[in-house]
Amino acid sequence: MNKKGQAEIIGSAILILVVVIGLWLTWAISIVNYNEYAFEKEFGSLKAEVKEEGFRWVGFGRLIRLNNQVRSYEIVIDAASADFQDVQVVLNLNIQLEKGKAYEFLTRYRGEEEFNKYLNNKVEERVKTVLLKYNAESILLNRLAIRDEMQAEVMQLEDLKFFKFNDLTLKNIEYSEKFNEVLEQKARVLQEREVIIRQKENLVLIRKNIALVDMDKYFKYQLIEKWDGQADLIISQNLIR
């Protein structure tokens, strides 16, 4: 092989090497965003150091990322009240992963998706226990107190220790159509009852007013008011002309 051929081979090899190194560097350097905690996992081993925001060297490893912002979990729970009415509750749980506990979180769960399933099941269990203490109508009348009780129950979950707890919101409560019909019927009955009570109160008031009036003087006054002054008017045996 002549020198020219050797030079071409060497040049091609160098070019291939540069491309390979460039591709490897692209893989070996990752960007960590401001809204995440990132951990390096290399050859199956997870490193405890949290990667800071910016360009970070990971070599032959890869980054596992966790959201570090406040997250709102919407949890829909189908439950029953103490009087066996079907109740659907929609909760918003707002929590934020703490930086100092993010590594321990990853060692317990493979990722956020697995934790979300676990959280849904545990919150549902706690909330159902609370709802069973109240009948359906009481849930409507004591919404805020029941929300606080639910929050106290949920905060006892051990696995929420990885998070900063912001709040729990009772977003919506829905009942079965049958129960809604019962509530509407009860509301109509209460309205009709209120009308009857007011009518009775008005009747009592009229009777009291009548009792205070001197009927003899009243009727005499009415006769005088309507007298045309031409015919004789007799009141109490007296003749008025």
Task: Tally Cβ neighbours within 10 Å of residue 38.
Answer: 22
pLDDT higher than threshold 80 for residue 41:
yes
Using alpha carbons, select from 83, 77, 193, 91 the residue that is nearest to residue 137. 83
pLDDT higher than threshold 70 for residue 149:
yes
For residue range 48-84, list pLDDT tens digits in order. Answer: 888 888 877 777 778 888 888 988 888 898 888 888 7
What integer pLDDT is reported at residue 98 of this predicted model?
92
| Number of separate helices (H) and strands (E) present in the chain | 7, 10
State phi, psi for 139 to the nearest 5 degrees. Answer: -60, -40
Alpha carbons within 13 A on the beta-carbon side of 35: 4
Lowest mean pLDDT among 185-199, 201-215, 221-235: 221-235
Q: Which two tokens stand for residue 147?
A: 């929300």
Homologous superfamily, domain 71-175 = Band 7 domain (3.30.479.30)
Name the residue ranges covered by the structural domains of the chain.
3-67, 71-175, 177-241
Task: Indicate the average pLDDT of the chain.
Answer: 78
What integer pLDDT is reported at residue 238 of this predicted model?
47
Task: Tell me the sheet residues that pair with 29.
Answer: 57
